[in-house]
Amino acid sequence: MRPARRCRSAFATAVVCALVTLFGGAHASAQPEHKRALLIYDEDKTLPGLSVLDQALRSSLSADDASIEFFTESMNLSQFNDEHYEQVLAQHYANKYRARKPDLIIAVIGPALGFLLRHGDRIFPGVPIVFCGADAADIEGVTIPAHVTGILVRRVFAPTLDVVLQLQPETRQVFVVGGTSTFDRHLQAQARREFRASEQRVSIEYLTELSMDDLLATVSRLPAQSAILYVTLFRDGAGRAHVPHEVVSRLSSVANAPVFIFVDQYLGRGAVGGHLYSLERHGKSAAEVGRRVLRGESPATIPVQELTSTANMFDARVLTQWNLDERRLPPDSIVLFREPGLWDRYRLQIIGGVALLVAQTALIGGLLLQRARRRRTEAELRASYQQIRNLGGRLLRAQETERAHLARELHDDISQQMAVLEVELRVLMNRRGSESLRDPESLLAETSARVATVTRSLRDLSHRLHPAHLRLLGLTVALERLQRELSTNDVAIAFTHEGVPKVLSPDVMVCLYRVAQEAVSNAVKHGCAGRVSVHLRGSPDRITMMVADNGVGFDVRAAHQGLGLISMRERVEQVGGSLQVSSEPGRGARLEVEVPYTVSATAEAV
């Protein structure tokens, strides 16, 4: 039995391991693999042409996997073109990417490819390389390693010259404009080879060694029946660097002959056009090769291709400027930037203007109607608010009147009767010796003390209901009494004042006294405060009272609709003042009241 059990146990273990491996592998394969792509440019990638390639490469590479992390390097070879700089750059890249090895390198333009062919094995050993922007001359006589592939540019210049002679049969001289950088001279050499077949048909002169100022001056006074073919110009004859796209614009603005070009990115800058190749389509083709490599395909299985991405493209505005007949263009020509007619040009503006006019009319009518409704509503609200204020004022006055009446009743009736009773009891206490009373002194003294206590309680109640001392002695004295009445061994109440006039209107005094009474009572009763401060300060036209405590605090927003706060706020607003309350749970509370007042000339401050 034991061998059988051991076999069953081993089989079960194997099954579990297989399942774990299967599902674990499936889970791992479900996680997207993070890829790094390094784009190396021979010049600053912000140059217009390289910028088009950069955008095409990034967007196409990210089509399948948006998690690709891109790195970009611009070698600026037109500014630093020596062997020592190349060695320094190679060492810099080796140090920089030692810990972040790319999965794919894209070399843009021939010099970048040449740099990687010379130093790539040392800097990025084993990393696949895809190149673009290079032509057949850049790899002539070079052995392409197995990990390198790419797309060659097939630039052609002769078809544009054919377009010039077809569009301008009277042309006698063609001036080829170019620069002195390595790349400029490389393209010029190809153009010279292609133009040799046309030298019998037209005179060709090369303007490739002039400074920019001399070049602009020359093209501004060319002989009649001339045309300009612009190749590229990164550096002029004086050694100054330029942006080829900007050179097209400058040439077109001063030349007295039409300018023809070879790249679609120059179109729209004042040139007529020509047989143009597309950098964007070229970049997308190279990115497609890069995507195949990132998906695991070996570069050795992807042959180097030379693609022709060209088309006859022209600027309609420049054709009109030079009176060139579109009927002479090649049949498959693409004419861009046509000047639309009045309706075509302003159709959206006209429709939008009419729609805007209708909308504005409707909006103005609606606003007028809304304004009338709003004014009626505001008038009703003001009337309602005034009624509420009047009602609140009457309620407060009625409350104070009732309290005063009750206080007078307590003081003038009950208190006086209790006082008489106290006197009579004292008379009885003086009649000692009466045998009818048992221990008369003790009994009468106890009764007298009890009566005195009742009298004081009634008097205090009278003062709380309507403090007569508020009217007779003033606000500060009334608040001092309030301090003494509410202070206990557990609660310390501090009252301070400065600059408070002796003469105040009854409404202001009652308002401030009642607010202080309510605030201090709430701090002691609900806030569990051990320390409360009341500060009263007068200024030339207003009185400010601040009540602060160290209690448990409260949520002001939650207590905003409480009866106590509403009552205090209504009192303050009734005399034209304002009330601010600030508190947070656990941090006490702070109440600040500000009311205006007017003082007579005889008023004095205490």
The last residue of one of the domains, among 153, 173, 194, is: 153
Total number of domains in the chain: 4
**Is the same domain home to 237 and 121?**
no
pLDDT at 503: 79
- Residue 13 lies inside a defined structural domain of this protein: yes
β-sheet bridge partners, residue 424? none
Pairing of strands 305-307, 148-153: parallel
pTM of the model: 0.49
pLDDT at 442: 64
- Residue 184 lies inside a defined structural domain of this protein: yes
- Residue 54 lies inside a defined structural domain of this protein: yes
Q: What is the CATH number of the domain that holds 547?
A: 3.30.565.10
The last residue of one of the domains, among 299, 319, 342, is: 342
HEC profile of 376-424: HHHHHHHHHHHHHHHHHHHHHHHHHHHHHHHHHHHHHHHHHHHHHHHHH
**Is the same domain home to 141 and 164?**
no
Half-sphere exposure in the Cβ direction for 152 (13 Å, CA): 14
Q: Nearest 5 degrees, angle CA 199-CA 200-CA 202?
A: 65
For residue 311, CA distances in Å to 264, 322, 329 come to 9, 21, 12
- Residue 522 lies inside a defined structural domain of this protein: yes
- Residue 147 lies inside a defined structural domain of this protein: yes
**CB-CB contact of 105 with 116 (8 Å):** yes
For residue 564, CA distances in Å to 260, 449, 485, 571, 599 come to 87, 37, 21, 11, 30
pLDDT at 155: 86
Closest of 320, 336, 328, 327 to residue 268, by C-alpha: 336
- Cβ-based burial of 454 (10 A; exposed 0-12, middle 13-18, buried ≥19): middle
For residue 417, CA distances in Å to 194, 413, 575 come to 133, 6, 39
Please give the order of strands across the beta sheet that includes 203-207: 203-207, 173-177, 226-230, 259-260, 273-277, 310-315, 334-336
**Is the same domain home to 127 and 204?**
no
**Is the same domain home to 332 and 198?**
yes
Residue type, position 449, single letter: A
**Is the same domain home to 68 and 119?**
yes
If you search the block for the tokens 């009763």, which residue do you land on?
Answer: 525
**Is the same domain home to 187 and 333?**
yes
pLDDT at 414: 64
The last residue of one of the domains, among 118, 153, 188, is: 153
**Is the same domain home to 45 and 146?**
yes
**CB-CB contact of 231 with 188 (8 Å):** yes
Ranges of the chain whose pLDDT falls below 70? 1-33, 341, 387, 390-395, 397-398, 401-402, 405-421, 423-469, 558-563, 598-606
**CB-CB contact of 76 with 109 (8 Å):** no
**Is the same domain home to 130 and 246?**
no
Q: What is the DSSP letter of 576?
A: T
Which residues neighbour 328 within 8 Å (Cβ) at sequence distance 6 or greater?
A: 166, 167
Q: What is the DSSP letter of 235?
A: B
**Is the same domain home to 109 and 175?**
no
pLDDT at 225: 95
pLDDT at 34: 77
- Residue 331 lies inside a defined structural domain of this protein: yes
**Is the same domain home to 86 and 167?**
no
**Secondary structure (DSSP) of 280-324:** HHHHHHHHHHHHHHHTT--GGGS--EEE--EEEEEEHHHHHHTT-
Q: What is the CATH number of the domain that holds 97?
A: 3.40.50.2300
For residue 278, CA distances in Å to 52, 151, 155, 303, 369 come to 10, 13, 10, 21, 59
For residue 162, give both structure tokens: 């054919």
pLDDT at 128: 97
**Is the same domain home to 136 and 184?**
no
Closest of 461, 428, 457, 463 to residue 445, by C-alpha: 428
pLDDT at 552: 84
- Residue 456 lies inside a defined structural domain of this protein: no
**Is the same domain home to 184 and 324?**
yes
- Residue 299 lies inside a defined structural domain of this protein: no
CA distance 158 to 194: 5
Query: Whole domain around residue 533: which residue ranges?
Result: 472-606
- Cβ-based burial of 301 (10 A; exposed 0-12, middle 13-18, buried ≥19): exposed
CA distance 89 to 255: 40
